[in-house]
Structure formats: C-alpha cells, structure tokens
Amino acid sequence: MLRTGQNSGKELADTERIAAHLACCPAFEAVAPDTLRDMLQRHHYHITSHDSGAIVAFRGDRYERLLVLLSGEVRTEMSSYGGKQYTVAEYTAPCLLAPAILFGKDNRLPVSVIATRPIELLRLPRAAVLALCRTEEAFLAAYLGDISTRLGVLADKLRLSRFATIRERLADYLLDQYHLQGSSTLQLPHSRRTQAEILGATRPALSRVLSELAEAGVVNYDRDYVQILDLEALAGLVDSLD
C-alpha cells in the first residue's frame, strides 16, 4: 500500500502521525516538531506498508529516497549466487535505513532489506534530508553519527569474518545476548538457521560448534535455551580477537 503526502486534508493527519514517529527516530528526534511538520509538508514523501517477509529493497537497487522505518523490524542481508544468506544487521523501528547510501554517486544498495515483521516505511526525498542537514546542526551531527555507527558495525563484521572462527563468532553473539538479557540464562531470539545466517555459517556447522562448547562445559543448551556455564571461557574466546 502506497500513500503519498502533499498538502491534502487526509495527508495532514498523516503528517501528524509521521512527525510523532520521527520524534523518536535517530537524527530526526533532534529536530523541533514544528520543523519536522514543516519539512513533511514541503516535500513529496511516500508511505508504504509491507508484510512480514517482504523484500522491501534489493541489493543493487538504486537508492534515491531515504527509507525511515516507522514501525516493525527489518533485517539487511547479502545473498550468494548459490542461495546462501548472510544477515548484515537487524533494525527495529523507528530508525533510518541505509542513510549513507543516499548520497553516493553510484548509490546502489549493498544489501537487501527484508521485513521480519509487518512494517511501515516513510520514503523521503534526498533534498529533504539535505535541507535538514543544512538548517539543523543537531540533525546533521546525529545523522553523521548514525552513519558512523553503521560503518563501525560493518567493519567489525568484516574483521570477524576474516579472522574469527565460528566458535569465536558464536561466543561474541552469546556474550552480546548475555549483556542484552542481563542474565547467563538466555532465551535466544533467533532460530538456529537465522543464527547461522547472522554468524556467517551453515546451520550444521553452527550446531557442531555449539555442541562442542557444551561438551567443553562452557554452555548448556537445548534449542533456543542457552545457559552460560563458564563466562570467562566465553569472554576469552572473544578477547583473543583483539
């Protein structure tokens, strides 16, 4: 479903709703509500909704408008000719999608964007974003900061990809979850297949490594439940990467 915003009564209601979403969105949250509404009224935006599982954008597509995830969740992934998927990142609304790519000379998406829940997207013209960058210093700084964080994440993924074994990557993932969940008893939010896609491995290989960690007494697990038994051993696996 595609909705376009430009100065009609129904769209004014949209504008209010979108502005409310943007008030919590990285970069946009730094802008006064009036300025956000003004921006939305001045530029020709689209709203689209997508079902869970929908491929919102393909790797290689031209990226001419900033996508802002208003609701739901997406993951970005690369896939290989042979059908292997590699999950690069996951995003929860509200957030920006591919903020840096918007400004490339050859601005083709380096990843595909897949909805992992039903989502709603705001599609903003590049000119709207550029104008905000120029007039709102806090927006500019936050926008650039957002890009910087993403670049850091990508670089980290590259480093792990190059230097880390599956075991080390799994240790990293489990430690992340440990810090997120604040407990050494974890309910993992991903299926084994999805975990494998995030870690850049195959499901049987991941199972093997998890099984080895269990045999070594580092963890205890059953399906999506993992109990960390030896936190130091796990941290040691990650530390050996630095």
Partner DNA sequence: TCCAGTTCGTAACATATGATACCGAAGTGA
Partner DNA sequence: TCACTTCGGTATCATATGTTACGAACTGGA
- 193 binding partner (options a second copy, DNA, none; Cβ < 5 to 8 Å by kind): DNA
Q: How far is the CB of 148 from a second copy (least distance, A)?
A: 3
- 148 binding partner (options a second copy, DNA, none; Cβ < 5 to 8 Å by kind): a second copy
The radius of gyration of the chain from alpha carbons, rounded to an integer in Å, stands at 20
Q: How far is the CB of 211 from a second copy (least distance, A)?
A: 23
Q: How far is the CB of 75 from DNA (least distance, A)?
A: 14
Residue 31 is a binding residue for DNA (CB under 7 A): no
Helix, strand, coil shares, percent, the chain, to 5: 45, 25, 30
Q: Per CB under 7 A, which region of 4-12, 13-21, 118-126, 218-226 contacts DNA?
A: 218-226
Give which of 131, 128, 110 is closest to 44, Cα–Cα.
Answer: 128
CB proximity list for 109: less than 8 A, separation 6 or greater:
57, 58, 59, 60, 61, 63, 98, 101
Q: How far is the CB of 142 from a second copy (least distance, A)?
A: 9
Give the Cβ contact number of residue 84 at 10 Å. Answer: 14
Q: How far is the CB of 137 from a second copy (least distance, A)?
A: 6
DSSP symbol at 183: S
Residue 207 is a binding residue for DNA (CB under 7 A): yes
d(CA 146, CA 21): 17
- 221 binding partner (options a second copy, DNA, none; Cβ < 5 to 8 Å by kind): DNA
From start to end of the chain, where are the E strands?
2-5, 45-50, 55-57, 65-71, 73-79, 85-92, 95-97, 112-115, 119-125, 185-187, 219-222, 225-228
Q: Which residues bind a second copy (CB under 8 A)?
A: 60, 78, 80-81, 84, 86, 88, 100-108, 110-111, 130, 133-134, 137, 140-141, 144-145, 147-152, 154-159, 161-163, 200, 240-242
CB proximity list for 131: less than 8 A, separation 6 or greater:
39, 43
Length, in residues, of the chain = 242
List 67's β-bridge partners, or say none. 97, 123
Site for DNA in 53-92 (CB under 7 A): 82, 84
Site for DNA in 164-183 (CB under 7 A): 164-167
Q: How far is the CB of 224 from DNA (least distance, A)?
A: 6
Residues forming contacts to DNA in the complex (CB under 7 A) are 82, 84, 164-167, 191-193, 200-205, 207-211, 221-224
